[in-house]
Amino acid sequence: MRFLTRSLVALLLASVSMGALGYAGYTLVTAMQDRNEATGRPAAGRERVFTVRAVTVTPAEISPILSAFGEVRTQRALELRAPVGGRVIEVAQGFEDGAEVAQGQLLFRIDPADATSALALAQSDLTRAGAELRDAERALELAAEDVDAAQAQFDLRERALMRRQGLAERGVSTEAALEEAELALSSARQAVVGRRQAQAQADARVDQARTALERQQISVEEAQRRLDDTRVYASFTGTLTDVNIVEGRIVNTSEQLARIIDPAALEVSVRLSTAQYLRLLDDGGALRDTGADIVLEVAGFEITSPGRVLRASATVEQGQSGRRLFVELNAPRGFRPGDFVTVRLQEPALQNVAVVPATAVTARGDVLVISDDNRLRAAPVSVLRRQGDDVIINAEGLAGFEIVREVTPNLGSGIQVRPLRENADGTPATQAAEMVTLDASRRAQLIAQVEGNTGMPEQVRARMIAQLSEDQVPAQMIERIENGGGGDTGGGRGRGGPMGGG
């Protein structure tokens, strides 16, 4: 009996507990329904509409700008080296880094004592060589006279022999006299040969003396040139740099003492990829006459200069890639060799292309096109160039369509959006506000939702109720109210309250 009583009590307590839990759940559900009705939130979920920035694709002819970095270098430079060794005895006033020098200006002078002595010795040797040449010429004249005298003696002996032969034929002369005449003629012939040999030697002596004179003249010219090299002049007007000379210093031959650069003759060495380089070639493979803009950023300011492409490097340096171009600066004012600059080259124009923000193209190479019912669809595009924060795409098949300016992870094909139309430069496109005509039930529901938002300022609430009471209401304000936020015709939101954070 006691067991039965305890069982009934336990069953009763369990029933009471279950009933209490059921009543608590019912109370919770009822409270949530009442809260939804009080705040005007619909019980069932609705499709979420995203607000996106839209831009219209407008095909056009566009010349892409190829941007690259390069280094300014001089086209004309002169290394000032010591032509001769010695002590520096004079340096031009203001001979220092950054100083301007004029063409023909004396820059520095080296002690000319050794060069002057060498020139004096060379001139003395030249005088001696001239005297030797004159002596050799006189000896040649005497040798020629000796040859003439020997030849005359030979002719005389020859005539005497002929007379002896005539007398011998007539029987008047003896055989001994005839032999004596023949011996005399032979001696005269030998004397002529000897004199001719002496003349040839005198002639060779003249040639040697003339050669020695020419060599001494060269020596004098070289000594004079060395003396002239002790004075160094500027060969063109320019600016000094890398100056390393002081008065009294001992310098060695060919030692570099300074450099002169022409600040008006500058160029930029810029390296491009092979693909970029190929865009600058014409149909024949030659480099186009391409214009350029060179920009140097200095403390927030930009120094610019127009230019043009001069040439391309003939080889590719070891360990490098791409191609190196040389761009001439037409207005080099403010630029200096060694500056790191930006070079903008104008490529050939592209047809039927459009410029859109880079954020409009997804990682897969698609853009989100806004259809007539304000839903998105993905369309593949071909990105031709990148221009900073923008890209140039092939506009074929997209002409006149609106695309999403900034693609976010929440957006994709089939999503409904409300476009905020903008121009290509990002400025808002002017358009009339969309107005909606409300029926009585929906108007009352919206007014009740606004009245239930206790966190909204009283003035804003009164203005919104007045607008909702009109025949036509801005669609933007209706959307914000239904999404749980406040808003007037200016798009303002309520602050605070359960609907203030839509």
CATH value at residue 402: 2.40.420.20
Q: Do 291 and 306 fall within a single domain?
A: yes
Residue 322: both structure tokens together? 């791409």
pLDDT of residue 492: 39
Asked whether the beta carbons of 390 and 396 are under 8 A apart, the reply is no
Residues 324 and 378 in one domain: no
* Same domain assignment for residues 294 and 238: no
Residues 289 and 357 in one domain: no
Higher pLDDT, 228 or 495: 228
Could you tell me if 256 and 149 lie in one domain? no
Q: Does residue 124 sit in the same domain as residue 214?
A: yes
Give the Cα separation of 382 and 396 in Å (integer).
Answer: 9
CATH number at residue 268: 2.40.30
Residues 100 and 135 in one domain: no
Q: How confident is residue 422, by pLDDT bands cut at 50, 70 and 90?
A: low
Phi-psi sector, 426: left (phi>0), alpha (psi -120 to 50), beta: left
Q: Is the pLDDT of residue 476 over 70?
A: yes
Report how far residue 340's alpha carbon sits from residue 334's, in angstroms, rounded to the nearest whole number.
13
The CA dihedral of 374, 376, 382, 386, to the nearest 10 degrees, is: 80
Which of 326, 346, 366 terminates a domain? The answer is 346
User: Taking 90 as the threshold, does the pLDDT of residue 12 lie above it?
Assistant: no
Query: Does residue 37 lie in a domain region?
Result: no
Eight-class DSSP state of 372: T
In a domain, 124, yes or no: yes
Residue 338 belongs to a domain: yes
Expressed as residue numbers, the domain containing 241 is: 78-110+232-260
pLDDT digits (tens, 9 = 90+) for 293-346: 999 988 778 889 999 998 988 888 888 888 899 999 988 888 989 999 999 998
Q: What is the dihedral of CA 10, 12, 18, 20, to 10 degrees?
A: -120
- Is 450 a domain residue? yes
Last residue of a domain, one of 320, 346, 372: 346
Residues 328 and 185 in one domain: no
pLDDT higher than 50, residue 499: no
Looking at the predicted structure, is the pLDDT value of residue 211 above 80? yes
What confidence tens digit (pLDDT) does each residue in 37-48 have? 555 444 445 678
CA pair distance 270, 344, nearest whole angstrom: 10
Do 267 and 340 lie in one domain? The reply is yes
Residue found by looking up tokens 């004012």 in the block: 333
Statement to judge: residues 298 and 400 lie in one domain: no
For the chain, the C-alpha Rg in angstroms (whole number) is 55
> In this predicted structure, what is the pLDDT of residue 427?
58
Query: For residue range 268-289, what is the model confidence (pLDDT) as tens digits?
Result: 999 999 988 998 888 888 888 8
Higher pLDDT, 107 or 488: 107
Neighbours of 453 (CB within 10 A): 22
Confirm whether 398 is domain-assigned.
yes
**With 60 as the cut, is the pLDDT of residue 215 above it?**
yes
CATH of the domain at 103: 2.40.50.100
Percent of the chain with pLDDT over 70: 89
Candidates 143, 137, 150; CA nearest to 200 is 143
Q: Which CATH number fits the domain that encloses residue 207?
A: 1.10.287.620
Which residue spans within 333-434 are E strands per DSSP? 340-346, 350-357, 366-370, 376-380, 383-387, 390-394, 402-404, 417-422
Q: What is the mean pLDDT of residues 434-447?
A: 80
Residue 72 maps to a domain: no
> For residue 282, is it within any domain?
yes
Going along 299-339, which residue ranges are E strands?
301-312, 323-329
At 338, the amino acid letter reads: G
Residues 297 and 355 in one domain: no
| The pLDDT of residue 36 | 62
As for how many domains the chain has, the answer is: 5
Of residues 410 and 157, which shows the higher confidence score? 410
pLDDT for the residue 43? 44
278 domain-assigned = yes
Residues 6+ apart with CB under 8 A from 46: 482
Structural domain ending residue among the three candidates 346, 378, 401: 346
Length of the chain: 502
105 & 241 share domain: yes
Which stretch of 45-54, 172-181, 382-391 has the lowest confidence by average pLDDT? 172-181
pLDDT tens for residues 229-262?
999 999 899 999 989 888 889 999 889 999 999 9
